[in-house]
Structure 1
């Protein structure tokens, strides 16, 4: 371990101990070793808790690594857990495993008397939940340990805890990517090349910075817009942002033989510009006609049947219409906005996502898609809800089909997960 990691383990004796900073900087391993040391001798008069945004994410980020003997040696054999279960056993102690992805999670800890807690990615949790967890750690000597990447400077974690460290009895350690001396230099260089703009400053430099300017600032029409497409190994999906008054946007996304993603075609209907609204049935019929006319690159074959049809999750009536029309593979989109933006931005920055010149709607929206300054002042990262219909469809398609294309993309993109 590095000197900074060792110091953070030795010095983490406050009521709340937080490791914060950039990705892959060593903060999680240090915090986990400290958590094991604490569990081994934690007060016996209360319960122990581990919290993540979901139980799955907690298993992936925290419990799985704890059970890895390459990381924790013989200690890993003293940790047992079945993914999704409410209890883990660590060094002989039962530990409650909780997901806290929205404000409804707060009652999960209400009524508990806790002797200690570990929190993964604190900024992704609701403030009401964490406040309740702090209150419930009431056993004498109880401590909380946690990690987080930076977020907006107005985020409640920074405003109410980091900036009030003495009042809330918190101690924190800030890590940057360069604080982990054991990473391969080529990997570090690749990781730095993956991010741009906001996500570079947060995930590489570890800064708590406000979202500003263009979201996809790495997008360059000269580089990312193409006149011809390669052979497609898979037609992954068509992805739909549904609108009646607002524009309806549908993007066809494929995986090329070069293992890059391509927006191969776009169907778009702007009812205001056309001065006519379409019904669900009319949109469904128009979608069929559009896909039937899409050519397979470098062949004489017309007509594409994508594996999935991914729809704006709020468009319940349209999803039902597609089912009635016999469309296979219809599914609501993953609408995790920031995760989707980060994934798309990573692909663009790494030159793994391209747009055929015929997809005019998304090409026009990409450069102007920007962060909302007013939301940023309130500590929130949100895009401006204007001229975003095709880029929303892009986010839906890329994020929801990630399990299909990820095996074909270099490992440097793992950080966007």
Structure 2
């Protein structure tokens, strides 16, 4: 049986039929996507016979995961509907309720070209803040069939993001209906799940992903960092180790050893750092490899995995050549990595040993770029961040190992 809908979801569906542009925005798991997808299904039934129907998102894979898989779930939409949603994974078309739907990934500005020459009657955009503004503008221009409509969902971003400034803030000026959802607007979620989900976000991301607020990234990146709370002089027995490395030749080289203690907390156990400018001598890949291995031997530690700055391919090769175990490319998605570190700091799940001098010097000054914020972007200032990056590589690349501890830590 399909899930029951809230009054807010039903109202958003009804109102969406009267607007050229309809945008569901707000927190994760707030019910906005289900409401928008049901509105999309009804709109397909009502769509003009002429013109293309488009499903757009960051990539084909995200469209399949976020849109097509839910549409094929009988618990969400009923078996009668899901039987009419047909798609072969990897294909750029799908059949939904008897209509051919074209799938378009929009990962960069070049995606705009995929819309050239198209005439559309209906479009759905998954995660609108993640598609380029030029693509969105071109898509609206292609919706030229009489009665054509655009439906979109998104989680919040910064208040200066183009989707907020040029569309949501101008709702009364445009033929646009906007529907804001918070986590509390989804009555079908169990309290335990809400508590667990809330524990996975902190600071900036809690306000965006849980409260559904369009808030700016400003000030300190790790505003929850407190030296009295997070810095320790003694370490418990460690059960596991991982290593994060931010490679540098002219810039400082930093290696941060992350451990999982017997108390189920994460610890920045130790740090090896080399600044070629301070020493007036650069080191080769082979010298760095030998120095890191010598440092680990002194500590008596063999990390399970060593996560290396993805841009440092030659250094990763050197580590492999020297027999260093478990070398892997670090997950370098910056904002997701910052969020992971923020979460473990805010939950009290991460502690930093006082010997990590470079890391402790960088953390208080690691800040968001005001210039990037003025452009509607979230970017940290790219300076004095090498140990912060090494910590981020280790923490974010092992998120699957510690995420289940978050709710308990809080």
Q: TM-score, normalised by structure 2?
A: 0.89
1:209-288 maps to which residues of 2 (within 5 A)?
209-235=215-241, 237-288=242-293
Question: Displacement of 1:184 after TM fit?
Answer: 2.8
2:127 match = 121
1:368 match = 365
Q: After superposition, what is the alpha-carbon deviation per residue over 1:14-42, rounded to whole angstroms, capped at 9, x for unaligned?
A: 11110111222221111111111112332
Q: Does the Cα contact within 8 Å between 2:200 and 2:406 map onto a contact in 1?
A: no
- Give, in whole Å, the separation in 1 of the partners of 2:114 and 2:398: 32
Q: Does the Cα contact within 8 Å between 2:23 and 2:151 map onto a contact in 1?
A: yes
Question: Displacement of 1:52 after TM fit?
Answer: 1.9
Q: Does the Cα contact within 8 Å between 2:344 and 2:406 map onto a contact in 1?
A: no
Q: Does the Cα contact within 8 Å between 1:371 and 1:381 map onto a contact in 2?
A: yes
1:356 match = 353
Of the structure 1 ranges 330-339 and 396-405, higher mean CA displacement relative to structure 2 is found in 396-405
- Give, in whole Å, the separation in 1 of the partners of 2:92 and 2:103: 5
- Give, in whole Å, the separation in 1 of the partners of 2:88 and 2:359: 43
1:58-137 maps to which residues of 2 (within 5 A)?
58-74=63-79, 75-137=81-143
Secondary structure, counterpart of 2:364 in structure 1: coil
Q: Does the Cα contact within 8 Å between 1:55 and 1:83 map onto a contact in 2?
A: no
1:314 match = 311
- Give, in whole Å, the separation in 1 of the partners of 2:381 and 2:22: 35
1:10 aligned onto 2:14: yes
Of the structure 1 ranges 101-110 and 317-326, higher mean CA displacement relative to structure 2 is found in 317-326
Secondary structure, counterpart of 2:218 in structure 1: coil
The verdict on how the C-alpha distance between 1:318 and 1:24 changes in structure 2, with shifts beyond 3 A counting, is same
Secondary structure, counterpart of 2:336 in structure 1: helix
The verdict on how the C-alpha distance between 1:329 and 1:89 changes in structure 2, with shifts beyond 3 A counting, is farther
2:47 match = 42
1:171-186 maps to which residues of 2 (within 5 A)?
171-186=177-192
Question: Displacement of 1:7 after TM fit?
Answer: 0.5
Q: After superposition, what is the alpha-carbon deviation per residue over 1:178-235, rounded to whole angstroms, capped at 9, x for unaligned?
A: 2223333344345445433322322232222221111112222333333444444443
The verdict on how the C-alpha distance between 1:110 and 1:330 changes in structure 2, with shifts beyond 3 A counting, is farther
Question: Displacement of 1:136 after TM fit?
Answer: 1.9
1:337-352 maps to which residues of 2 (within 5 A)?
337-352=334-349
1:26 aligned onto 2:23: no
- Give, in whole Å, the separation in 2 of the partners of 1:110 and 1:257: 58
Of the structure 1 ranges 13-22 and 218-227, higher mean CA displacement relative to structure 2 is found in 218-227
Q: TM-score, normalised by structure 1?
A: 0.88
1:371-382 maps to which residues of 2 (within 5 A)?
371-382=368-379
1:333 to 325, 330, 333: 330
The verdict on how the C-alpha distance between 1:391 and 1:83 changes in structure 2, with shifts beyond 3 A counting, is farther
1:164 aligned onto 2:170: yes
- Give, in whole Å, the separation in 2 of the partners of 1:253 and 1:21: 34
2:294 match = 289
- Give, in whole Å, the separation in 2 of the partners of 1:358 and 1:187: 38
1:299 match = none
Q: Does the Cα contact within 8 Å between 1:191 and 1:412 map onto a contact in 2?
A: no
Q: Does the Cα contact within 8 Å between 1:194 and 1:412 map onto a contact in 2?
A: no
The verdict on how the C-alpha distance between 1:403 and 1:195 changes in structure 2, with shifts beyond 3 A counting, is closer
- Give, in whole Å, the separation in 2 of the partners of 1:189 and 1:287: 41
Structure 1 spans left out of the alignment, 5+ residues: 295-301
- Give, in whole Å, the separation in 2 of the partners of 1:93 and 1:233: 55
- Give, in whole Å, the separation in 2 of the partners of 1:108 and 1:254: 47
The verdict on how the C-alpha distance between 1:2 and 1:225 changes in structure 2, with shifts beyond 3 A counting, is same
1:208 aligned onto 2:208: no
1:298 match = none
1:385 to 379, 382, 387: 382
Question: Displacement of 1:391 after TM fit?
Answer: 1.0
C-alpha root-mean-square deviation of aligned residues, in Å?
2.5
Q: Does the Cα contact within 8 Å between 1:187 and 1:412 map onto a contact in 2?
A: no
Q: Does the Cα contact within 8 Å between 1:48 and 1:94 map onto a contact in 2?
A: yes
Question: Displacement of 1:404 after TM fit?
Answer: 4.7
Structure 2 spans left out of the alignment, 5+ residues: none
Q: How many aligned positions are there? A: 403
